[in-house]
Chain A
Amino acid sequence: MRVCLKGLLLLAVCLYGSSIGHAIDSPDEMLPDPVLEQKAQHIGQQLRCLVCQNESIEESSAPLAKDLRHIVRQQLQQGRSPKDITLWMTQRYGEFIRLQPRFSASTALLWLMPFLSLMIGFLLARPLWARRTSPPPAPLTVEERQKLNQFFNKD
């Protein structure tokens, strides 16, 4: 039981660590200036690793991600702005490298999908709501009531 608990604890620590950790493979990769390093991490977190495709280059340990991390830091040290660096990357790898692509004709569907699906859902649900809120049927007429009574009093 103790071993099991220890294992669980270890797993939890690993999972927690992996969710916040960076794949910077060695501390040498980091810039000596903590402010610039934080800036670099922020830029890197917005850039997709082209090898893993669902991780940022800050998280990925693919060799290409490491090269791109290095370029981000190099350009920051040369005094280039985060915007320039992201543009430099986009020129080489396309809009796909941005984890948050710019709004354009080709990304419009991606950005508008939440609103579109909400609208489609609303349109689909409207007939159901209309049915629920429709007025109650008119009360029975005297004639109908008599007919009903005849049926029930048959036996």
Chain B
Amino acid sequence: MRLTRRHYLAALPALGAAGLGGGFLYMLRHATQGTFDPKAVRNPRLGQAVPAFSPLPALPEQPTPCPGLSWQDFHTLTQPVLLLIWASWCLPCLEEIPFLRQHIAGETTTASPLALWGVCYKDTPSQAAHWLEQAHHPFSRLGMDYDGQCAIEWGVTGVPESFLILPHPLTGSRIVWHGTGSLTEALYREQIQPFLRGAL
């Protein structure tokens, strides 16, 4: 059979549908792994220095006190920092805990010293304390952002969000990665670990 222009034209819709289907399959697979978020907003702070923000107080009256967080803390970094914005009222924040405890907390003691810092977004001290106690969160610093102003400086649109900040001896600390939604193992392996390998 000789292929005419008509045949090629008839194949166009099928090709278009196949392309769309492939795209949807890609999005669906990566969405379930946490590596694709259709509502994610590209953070303009990416690749730039840490934004200035008013110092965040520590959570008061803790059995094992965890220091608060300030802008200056990011200038004297000696190790990469994973900064998590979370809240006790946020369910995905709870979802990421098992992964954080297993991988990030373990990572801190082995080859790549990665510090886990937290910003508690619009929460009450009692609820945040209760949540931390239940979750055994491995934060080494925790700032309370009661009015959510710090989150706005960072361009956070919701909880959880996370930022990877790498120290740099010459240019100062830089935000190199930003993620929305729960941290998953796939996300960590594909997007965060390559930066850590480069930093060592």
From known contacts A53-B39, A63-B122, infer whether A94 and B148 are also in contact, taking CB-CB under 8 Å. Answer: no
* Chain A positions 83-142 with a Cβ under 8 Å from a chain B Cβ: 90-96
Number of residues from A at the complex interface, CB < 8 A: 15
- With CB as the reference atom, state the residue of chain A lying closest to B155: A92
- With CB as the reference atom, state the residue of chain B lying closest to A96: B41
Q: Does A67 contact B (CB under 8 A)?
A: yes
Asked whether A94 lies within 8 Å of B153 as measured between CB atoms, the reply is no
Residues of A with C-beta under 8 A to B122: 63
Q: Does A68 contact B (CB under 8 A)?
A: yes
Asked whether B44 lies within 8 Å of A94 as measured between CB atoms, the reply is yes
**Alpha-carbon gap, A59 to B149, bound state (A):** 21
Asked whether B44 lies within 8 Å of A92 as measured between CB atoms, the reply is yes
Q: Does B54 contact A (CB under 8 A)?
A: no
Number of residues from B at the complex interface, CB < 8 A: 17
From B154, B155, B158, A94 is in contact (CB under 8 Å) with B155
Q: Does A31 contact B (CB under 8 A)?
A: no
**Alpha-carbon gap, A90 to B155, bound state (A):** 9
Q: Does A71 contact B (CB under 8 A)?
A: yes
Asked whether A71 lies within 8 Å of B158 as measured between CB atoms, the reply is no
**Alpha-carbon gap, A61 to B124, bound state (A):** 21
**Alpha-carbon gap, A94 to B47, bound state (A):** 13
**Alpha-carbon gap, A53 to B157, bound state (A):** 10
- With CB as the reference atom, state the residue of chain A lying closest to B45: A92
> For chains A and B in complex, what number of residue pairs have CB atoms within 8 angstroms?
39
Residues of B with C-beta under 8 A to A51: 157-158
From known contacts A53-B39, A92-B155, A93-B157, infer whether A67 and B44 are also in contact, taking CB-CB under 8 Å. Answer: no
Residues of B with C-beta under 8 A to A92: 44-45, 51, 152-155
Residues of A with C-beta under 8 A to B157: 50-51, 64, 93
- With CB as the reference atom, state the residue of chain B lying closest to A106: B42
**Alpha-carbon gap, A92 to B43, bound state (A):** 7
**Alpha-carbon gap, A50 to B43, bound state (A):** 12
- With CB as the reference atom, state the residue of chain A lying closest to B148: A67
CB proximity of B8 to chain A, nearest CB, Å: 15
Residues of B with C-beta under 8 A to A91: 44
Residues of A with C-beta under 8 A to B158: 50-51, 64
**Alpha-carbon gap, A92 to B152, bound state (A):** 7
* Chain B positions 38-82 with a Cβ under 8 Å from a chain A Cβ: 39, 41-45, 51
Asked whether B42 lies within 8 Å of A67 as measured between CB atoms, the reply is no
Residues of B with C-beta under 8 A to A96: 41-42
12 A–B pairs (Cβ distance < 8 Å), ordered by A: A50-B157, A50-B158, A51-B158, A63-B148, A64-B152, A64-B157, A67-B152, A92-B44, A92-B152, A92-B154, A93-B157, A94-B44
| Chain B interface residues (CB < 8 Å from chain A) | 39, 41-45, 51, 122, 147-149, 152-155, 157-158
9 extra A-B contacts, CB within 8 A, seeds A67-B148, A94-B155, A96-B41: A51-B157, A53-B39, A63-B122, A64-B148, A64-B158, A92-B45, A92-B153, A93-B41, A95-B44
Closest 7 CB pairs between A and B? A50-B157, A94-B44, A92-B155, A93-B155, A96-B41, A94-B42, A67-B148
